[in-house]
Amino acid sequence: DREQDGSILDAAMQLQCKEFIAHAYCQSVIDELWCGRSKWCGRIMLRSRPTALWIFAQLCLLPLLSMDVVPPLLDLEANPLYESDGGASDTNANIPKWQVALALFQVPLIKRVVMLASHICFTICFVLLVISKPLCG
């Protein structure tokens, strides 16, 4: 169904219209999509765009955040474009913490940082394995 709901921005990307995409308004729309403001990105969106290192640090503390040991430091809000099963939009107050933790991984910026961090960890583990063990003999 996502292919049928194409926007003018999707058409501009397919036609490689760089002048249109480079416009300040289009860039602000892309930034909002990147932070999770879309009906495909789940219940949560980021209000502001944090750095990748800050997101990674927060994701490492995610188990502690769910237990109220550490205050939440990511600036989150309910996604107004997302419709829950009942068809109504959510508010911050009625989303359980475990669903907030799961919904974080539907935000494209969070997905990208998690993917980057896992690739870096895999590469470090692979290099350490190759250095510590001889390949033959």
For residue 90, is it within any domain? yes
- Using CA atoms, how far residue 85 sits from 19, 36, 42, 43, 82, in Å, is 39, 19, 12, 11, 10
pLDDT in tens, 58-107: 777 666 655 655 445 566 667 676 666 555 455 555 667 677 777 777 78
Total number of domains constituting the chain: 1
Tokens coding 60? 């490492």
- Element at 52 (helix H, strand E): helix 52-60
Task: Provide the domain limits for residue 72.
Answer: 35-132
For residue 86, is it within any domain? yes
Q: Provide the angle, in degrees to the nearest 10, between the axes of the packed helices 108-132 and 24-34.
A: 60
Under 8 Å between Cβ of 7 and 29: no
For residue 137, is it within any domain? no
Lowest-confidence range among 10-14, 23-27, 122-126?
A: 10-14
For residue 118, is it within any domain? yes
For residue 23, is it within any domain? no
**Nearest-angstrom CA–CA distance, 85 and 67:** 27
pLDDT surpasses 70 at 30: yes
**Nearest-angstrom CA–CA distance, 100 and 126:** 33
For residue 112, is it within any domain? yes
Under 8 Å between Cβ of 109 and 30: no
Around Cβ 29, how many Cβ atoms within 10 Å? 17
* 14-20: Cβ within 8 A, 24+ apart: none
Look at the pTM and tell me if it is higher than 0.85. no
For residue 26, is it within any domain? no
For residue 3, is it within any domain? no
Q: Give the pLDDT mean for 33-60.
A: 73
